[in-house]
Homo-oligomer: A and B are copies of this chain.
Amino acid sequence: MRSDAQANRDRVLAAAEEVFGESGEAGSTEEIARRAGVGIGTVFRHFPTKQLLVEATVVRHLALLTATARARAEDGGEAGEAFRTTFRELISGAPAKLALLALRERTGAPDDSADEVRAAALRLRDAVEVLLSRGQEAGEVRADTTVDEVYVLIRALANTRGDRSVVDGAVGVVLDGLAPRRSGA
């Protein structure tokens, strides 16, 4: 029975990512249950509160992004390229869905599980940091920028809506800003 429960939990989380991705926190729990193919009671058994479901969804998504970043880091490719590619991937990774994140980080921490969100965000930040450091050491990324700044840029751009080409151009501008500063500049 344990695996059944686990399977249900996963289906609920997947449905939640879909629904919250479309409607933000306004997405209804009932709709999530419907898409997950389970009863509403099952959703609440796994996530006693909507808040907890939202947070679990965010954590799951952050974990996914973290995995992406780590994979890049382990790829062993060229440091600057790895950093830039990951930067772009995190931004376009799941545009609509990261909206969630932005929303989440706007409010206080009303319950314990918010700590898990913070922890997950930190793990992503750390993964980004690895790539950033390497890029900087390789002289491919400007030395005078911090992970926090880079992380802020990723979050800001991840929520952007608009023409793909325009957004891509905008990201390009930002990456130019992250290029090494000319010594004589």
Contacts and interface: CB of A to CB of B under 8 A. Distances in A.
Interface of A: 24-26, 96, 99, 102-103, 105-106, 142, 145-146, 148-150, 152-153, 155-157, 159-163, 166-167, 169-170, 173-178, 181-182
A14 B161 CA distance: 27
Contact of A153 (B103, B163, B174, B182): B174
7 contacts: A96-B106, A105-B161, A142-B173, A152-B166, A174-B177, A175-B177, A176-B176
Contacts of A103: 24
Given A26-B26, A99-B106, A160 B156 contact: yes
Given A149-B166, A173-B178, 13 more contacts: A26-B26, A99-B106, A106-B161, A145-B169, A148-B162, A150-B170, A152-B166, A152-B167, A152-B170, A155-B160, A156-B156, A173-B177, A175-B177
A176 B142 CA distance: 11
B162 A152 contact: yes
Nearest to A147: B166
Contacts of A96: 106
A105 B24 CA distance: 13
Contacts of A145: 169, 173
